[in-house]
Structure 1
Amino acid sequence: MKKLFLSGIIGAYLFLFPEFGYAQGCVAIRQFSGVGNAVGQGNFQNQGDWNISANYRYFKSFRHFRGTHEEPERIENGTQVINWSHGMDLTVSYSFTSRIYALASIPFAYNERSSLYEHGRTERHTTYSSGLGDIRIGAGYWLFPESEKRKGNMAVGLGIKFPSGNFRAEDTFYNVGVGGQPEIRPVDQSIQLGDGGFGFNVDFQGIWGINSSLFAYYSGFYLFNPKNTNGTRTFRSRESESIMSVPDQYSLRGGAFYSVKQVHGLGFLLGGRIEGIPVSDLLGESDGFRRPGYVISVEPGASYMLKNLTGTLTVPLALVRNRTRSLTDIADSTPENKRHGDAAFADYVINFSLAWRIPKKVPQVFNTL
């Protein structure tokens, strides 16, 4: 029973912490791996062990919201904005001890954005962006040693985000230049590959065994982006929104994981999550254009572990989508005209990850006698 419980909790670490954040549409919640979540085995990972993981994410956003109110007429009259996003995070982690680890995460993305209003409001066209995103490195620490008899553990981590992703990606916009000619402009903030600022994040993750098959889990992060704006033009009508902001980002997740005793390596999870962009940053100024908001989702998923390789599929389904009022919305409002920008959100996100644990090789000792 003890061995079965240990196997289940290791499996739960592998299954539950491959990644953190997901873009959901015009609210630019970029792909983001919290420091420590790609480690997988948590404090059960031995000194000298490596973990290599790849996380793929896809969504299509097209439903427009102001606050929590959906605007279905946008779809009915064909004026909705549609974003298609494909993201891949490649993450490598290393355990210095069974409790201290470090990792580096390299994201890549391919995005498409179909819009009417960005092309003179007369024709629908599509803009694109693809390439490297903002690289993250960091380290974490599991609070309790293996020697203590506990049913679970908790880790805390710190990381740095580098502005390696292109935050000035451009494409052709039609019917917007002189005489209605095409013009090269920066693509919308939601499909920019990076935000243009150095940032740092704090994160945590934890798991607790309820019995030999059932585990409770939780994780979260907050990304601090102290930089105010990144200098990229938006070509929006309001002067206060003419330059893109560099916003903070956050995510919180929790739920239950069930390890199937009858099928070794198979597990299912069901939880909830919230992720979003705040109206204003915790550090630094918050000028420029941003689409603040959040998504609350229910998150079912399944995983299978074969030796040191684990595959995980989760599909967060949006329950609440809220495009909150930005600082520019509030500042530019009058008693007669209360401004409240909109944003397009996805119904669901598809996430698939593969994690490969590479244990430290133990030297063999041969008896020469």
Structure 2
Amino acid sequence: MKLTLRLLFSITFYIFFTNTQANAQGCVAIRSTGGLCTMDEHPDSTNTNSSWLLNSNNRYFRSYKHFIGTQEQKQRIAQGTNVINHSYTQDLTLTRIFNNRWSFAVDVPILDNSRSSLYEHGGKERLSTHSFGLGDIRLTAYAWLLNPAKAGKGNIQVGLGLKLPTGNYNYQDYFYHTGANDTRTLGPVDQSIQLGDGGTGITTEINAYYNFTHQFGLYGGFYYLISPREQNGISTSRGSAPSPKAVANGSDVMSVPDQIMIRGGASYGVGKFDFSAGVRYECLPVKDLIGGSNGFRRPGYIISAEPGVTYRLKSLSIYAFVPVALKRDRTQSVPDKLTTQQTGVYTQGDAAFADYAVNVGVTFKFK
């Protein structure tokens, strides 16, 4: 029985969210988790022939609103002191479908980021740093748990893979110090626009769908990146000497954090179009599942409403998903907690988030 509804998963940091640094979209560094987190086509239960899927996903967001916890720091925009990140990710994902149950995917991200601020450049003039290049490549094996020939209405897919440290996690640019004697310093760019995190990670995924009719169904997905490496050794001081406070609380070196993404919603087909409405949760946790959690990170999460539309032809699908932020929360990091203990004064840093992200792409199916 041929199914007319398929799963579509976009990423991304987010990071994730995503990078995803992520976003969720913004200074909370959830990097892209791939154009599609799973196969976007459920295999025809009557077709056991092997085939290929090539997906090209484009993700863009602009983060500029600062939050401490869930409280927006509106004065930052009014004063012009907010940080503005522009993040663009091109994900190319090649999936080999071996049969109607097993597949293997390779995701290659290309990132183009910019970050403008006052505080990184002497505080008097808004200037920018940039990063461009290859991100962290993912290799993932997928399997449908139920036999598609017998499970016509719904199924569950699991994925297990590796995230490789192929992205430059020590990307450097010039920081300008304006004043009586203008100077510039070459140093690592902010964690939110680094191309990689420097760690080899283990990716785990669970994706599911259930079709009530040929037109209407539900979908859901869970993604978790396990990052055993605690820190990557890269300084956060932008080419200058770290502050005593940063050394004391351990935020002078970048951490290598885990990432989480959860999606769920409903899809309705009309002719060659599939319309979907769902909820998306992207998170960079305070503490990792495995290994230590020290070092600099901006933990937090974003909950978004995620409308989407997909146009399908025989061997081609074109889609667009636009998660719109409903709740943004910059949580207290490990260095924040250490500073609170050391000084007796509650400390919690801020992070900039986007209002929305745009994911548009195309998937080709071929033999």
**2:156 and 2:209 in contact (8 A); partners too:** yes
Shift of 1:97: 2.0
Match of 1:189 among 176, 191, 215: 191
Q: 1:65 aligns with which of 42, 64, 67?
A: 67
**Cα contact 2:36–2:55 (8 A) shared by 1:** no
For 1:29, the equivalent position in structure 2 comes to 30
2:345 pairs with one of 337, 342, 347: 337
Distance 1:86 1:34, change over 3 A: closer
Q: Secondary structure at the match of 1:40?
A: coil
Return the alpha-carbon distance in structure 1 between the equivalents of residues 9 and 338 of structure 2. 40
1:284 to 271, 276, 291: 291
Q: Tell me the secondary structure at the aligned position of residue 131 of structure 2.
A: strand
1:105/1:201 CA distance change after superposition, 3 Å = same
State the AA in 2 paired with 1:17: F
The equivalences for 1:10-29 within 5 A come to 12-13=6-7, 16-19=8-11, 21-22=13-14, 23=22, 24-29=25-30
Counterpart AA for 1:74: R
- What CA distance in whole angstroms lies between the structure 1 residues aligned with 2:28 and 2:253? 16
Which position in structure 2 is the counterpart of 1:78? 80
Q: List alignment gaps of at least 5 residues for structure 1.
A: 361-369
| Distance in structure 2 (CA, Å) of the matches to 1:265 and 1:20 | 26
Look up the match of 1:255: 265
How far is 1:146 from its partner? Answer: 2.2
Aligned with 2:156: secondary structure? strand
One-letter amino acid of the structure 1 residue matched with residue 84 of structure 2: I
Specify the alignment match of 1:88 in structure 2.
90
Q: CA deviation at 1:173?
A: 0.2
Residue identity matched to 2:364? W
- Equivalent residue for 1:364? none
Distance in 1 of aligned mates of 2:59 and 2:10: 12
CA distance in 2, matches of 1:40, 1:227: 31
- Of residues 346, 354, 361, the one that matches 1:353 is 361
Does the 8 Å CA contact 1:245/1:286 hold for their aligned counterparts?
yes
> Which of 156, 174, 179 does residue 158 from structure 2 map onto?
156
Could you tell me which of 164, 169, 172 is aligned with 2:171? 169
User: What percentage of residue pairs aligned between the two structures are identical?
Assistant: 44
Could you say if the C-alpha distance between residues 26 and 246 of structure 1 is closer, same or farther in structure 2, counting changes exceeding 3 Å? same
Larger radius of gyration: 1
- State the one-letter code of the partner of 1:243: V
C-alpha displacement at 1:82, in angstroms?
0.2
> Cα RMSD (Å) of the superposition?
1.9
Against the structure 1 CA distance between its residues 175 and 308, is the aligned structure 2 distance closer, same or farther, given a 3 Å change threshold? same
**CA contact under 8 A between 2:122 and 2:179: conserved in structure 1?**
no
Contact 1:18–1:40 under 8 Å retained in 2 = no
Q: Is the 8 A contact 2:53 2:94 kept in 1?
A: yes
String of CA shifts for 1:221-277, please: whole Å, max 9, x gaps. Answer: 1000100111111015311211100000010000000101xxx21111000010010
- The match for 1:132 is 134
User: Partner amino acid for 1:41?
Assistant: E
Single out whichever of 119-128 and 41-50 deviates more from structure 2. Answer: 41-50
In structure 1, what is the Cα distance between the partners aligned to 2:119 and 2:282?
27
In structure 2, the partner of 1:41 is 41
* Aligned partner letter, 1:219: G
Give distance in 1, aligned partners of 2:178 and 2:127. 12
| Residue 280 (structure 2) pairs with residue 267 (structure 1) | no
Question: Are the structure 2 counterparts of residues 71 and 145 from structure 1 closer, same or farther at C-alpha, using a change threshold of 3 Å?
Answer: same
